[in-house]
């Protein structure tokens, strides 16, 4: 349903591009086979969906070639929302439905391919969410549903009421929790392929001077040299080696960075290379 590499647009408002430049970027992603775009209502302080929709309106025929993912469930305290006194989570049916309706308008589309609840919410009523999802599915407004940043038990709870197709979580060599906390075991068991945010640790993997990052980067670079690819490509390949078959989400504006991510779909790290990267990150051999 999603392309093997997904393009994340969290940072798009900071790119300061014209609608034509945004359209060009979208076209280049599509030409590379990166056809899925990861949004959230709140990106750019509720502005990014509209920036994307504005570009898409210049070439509406492209909509049929792409999958649009968006999220809801966070209420930010920004000028556009004067009623919000404090940042909070809202997974009420009323908010979910309203948020989707706004996303459809902003993205200038009739249908969202995948809607995610952005964060787990202690006040989430699973029956109420399931009813909202059913309504949106029946109305043809959303095709499929998932969650983001959920623990396995939070996922289990909602999945028992309504089918979820993914849990979008952070993972990279500097943040390995989902490898060991049951998140990816559950994804493999249920065949709900995870989506992975910040696959390059928000860039830190390639730029940070912290000891752990430098250790990992050195190894990514030397393994990359053997394959004739960049350190970034090896970082993506490390994630794509996982048997839960995750979809990494890029965060770069640069098409070359997108090409580096796509290059990872053409190589498979062997078990020892994969483990060397894990060991460089943890600083110790596996037990």
Ligand X SMILES: NC(=O)c1ccc[n+]([C@@H]2O[C@H](COP(=O)([O-])OP(=O)(O)OC[C@H]3O[C@@H](n4cnc5c(N)ncnc54)[C@H](OP(=O)(O)O)[C@@H]3O)[C@@H](O)[C@H]2O)c1
User: What are the residues binding ligand X (CB under 6 A)?
Assistant: 8-11, 38, 148-149, 168, 197-203, 206-207, 232, 249-254, 257
DSSP designation for 229: S
Contacts of 188 by beta carbon, 8 Å cutoff, 6+ apart:
243, 244
Catalytic residue list contains 46: no
Q: Which is nearer to ligand X, 21 or 127 (CB)?
A: 21
Whether 247 and 195 have beta carbons less than 8 Å apart is answered as yes
Q: Which is nearer to ligand X, 127 or 181 (CB)?
A: 181
Q: Which is nearer to ligand X, 152 or 199 (CB)?
A: 199
Beta bridge partners of 8: 38
**Least separation in angstroms between CB 251 and ligand X:** 2
Angle at 51 between CA 48 and CA 53, to 5 degrees: 110
**Least separation in angstroms between CB 254 and ligand X:** 4
DSSP 190-224: HT---EEE-TTGGGHHHH--SHHHHHHHHHHHHHH
Residue 115 to residue 163: CA distance in whole angstroms:
12
**Least separation in angstroms between CB 138 and ligand X:** 26
**Least separation in angstroms between CB 45 and ligand X:** 15
Residue nearest to ligand X (CB): 251
Q: Are strands 195-197 and 167-170 parallel, antiparallel or unpaired?
A: parallel
Catalytic residue among 43, 46, 227, 247, which?
43
For the annotated catalytic residues, the residue numbers are 43
């Amino acid at each position: 349903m999603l392309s093997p590499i997904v393009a994340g647009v969290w940072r798009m408002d900071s790119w300061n591009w014209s609608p034509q430049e945004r359209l060009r970027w979208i076209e280049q992603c599509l030409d590379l086979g990166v056809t899925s775009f990861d949004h959230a209502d709140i990106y750019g302080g509720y502005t990014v969906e509209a920036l994307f929709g504005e570009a898409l309106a210049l070439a509406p025929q492209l909509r049929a070639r792409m999958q649009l993912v968006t999220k809801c469930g966070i209420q930010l305290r920004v000028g556009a929302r004067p009623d919000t006194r404090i940042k909070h989570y809202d997974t009420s049916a009323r908010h979910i439905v309203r948020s989707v309706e706004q996303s459809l308008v902003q993205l200038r589309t009739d249908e969202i391919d995948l809607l995610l609840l952005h964060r787990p919410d202690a006040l989430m009523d699973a029956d109420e969410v399931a009813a909202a999802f059913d309504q949106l599915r029946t109305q043809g407004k959303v095709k499929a549903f998932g969650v983001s940043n959920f623990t396995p038990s939070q996922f289990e709870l909602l999945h028992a009421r309504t089918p979820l197709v993914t849990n979008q979580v952070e993972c990279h060599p500097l943040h390995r929790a989902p490898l060991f906390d049951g998140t990816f075991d559950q994804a493999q068991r249920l065949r709900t392929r995870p989506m992975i945010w910040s696959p390059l640790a928000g860039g830190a993997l390639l730029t940070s001077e912290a000891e752990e990052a430098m250790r990992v980067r050195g190894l990514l670079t030397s393994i990359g040299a053997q394959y004739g690819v960049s350190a970034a490509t090896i970082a993506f390949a490390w994630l794509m080696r996982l048997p839960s078959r995750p979809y990494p989400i890029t965060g770069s504006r640069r098409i070359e960075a997108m090409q580096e991510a796509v290059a990872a779909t053409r190589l498979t790290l062997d078990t020892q290379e994969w483990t060397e990267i894990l060991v460089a990150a943890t600083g110790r051999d596996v037990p």
